[in-house]
Structure 1
């Protein structure tokens, strides 16, 4: 059950919802009651999958970004677009960064970044971040 909870928190943390998957992962590692490698895999998979949802949202909703209910504010999209224009696809390595990471993954979808490129770069960044948490807690 704890692995499912970690997956859900990690998934939601990759959306606009204010969850902290790093703190959850760190707490679980410190308790030493769980398989740390499995915790790392579950958190990484959930967080990366959450970013895929953002990419798909951007990819399939280009015309909806001006709607009031759209989950990302225009300022977030503009800031992420500038970041993306400046650093290109490699900026997806920073999809884990608070505030700009979630809109960055949405912008990647809006700009029709190839899915394979997207998933590889986002996964590298997110897994690396969790490996650092793992190292600091272990």
Structure 2
């Protein structure tokens, strides 16, 4: 496993592959796999400040694409919803009602750690409209990348040896 991970990291080395690495890592990190894309975006922008906006846009597209994949996975899992609804707790029912009440706008929260990726899958499972969900995912994820990367680079540069 360790050899596989090292070869994967070598294949995705930032200086050699740049924006394609940002896309792949952002896409994968928006699925249910435990991975974060922010360090990759920050690393590329720290090495190449002129790539701030391209990196933000590529990360947003990749992360939104991964969220859309999660939506489709949830949509495909809709067949198990009847079984799950029979065994759901009051807390589960409350969460589902909350999500149904907000509709696609709930996907603005897709950027949140831990709950954001499953949120996309549940939105698909509930069969919320695909394109509005993707649009809200994109807005939330874009805002996250801009704010986090800008803060790391310009608000707190002393922590990264830049100030």
Alignment TM class, shorter chain as reference = 0.7 to 0.9
Give the superposed CA RMSD. Answer: 2.5
Higher RCO (C-alpha under 8 Å, 6+ residues apart) = 1
Alignment of 1:22-41 (within 5 A): 22-32=38-48, 35-41=51-57
Structure 1 residue runs without a partner (length 5+) = 67-73
Alignment of 1:1-138 (within 5 A): 1-32=17-48, 35-64=51-80, 78=92, 81=96, 83-85=98-100, 87-136=102-151, 137-138=153-154
Q: How many residues align?
A: 130
Is the Cα contact below 8 Å between 1:92 and 1:118 reproduced in 2?
A: yes
Structure 2 residue runs without a partner (length 5+) = 1-16, 83-87, 155-163
Is the Cα contact below 8 Å between 1:80 and 1:100 reproduced in 2?
A: no
TM-score by length of 2: 0.70
Note the alpha carbon deviations across 1:90-120, whole angstroms, 9 max, x for none: 2211101111111110111011111121111
Is the Cα contact below 8 Å between 1:59 and 1:112 reproduced in 2?
A: yes
Q: Give 1:33 shift.
A: 5.8
Q: Give 1:20 shift.
A: 1.2
SS in 2 for 1:15: coil
Bigger Rg, which one: 2
Q: Give 1:86 shift.
A: 5.9
Note the alpha carbon deviations across 1:54-98, whole angstroms, 9 max, x for none: 1111112212579xxxxxxx99xx486355146443221110111
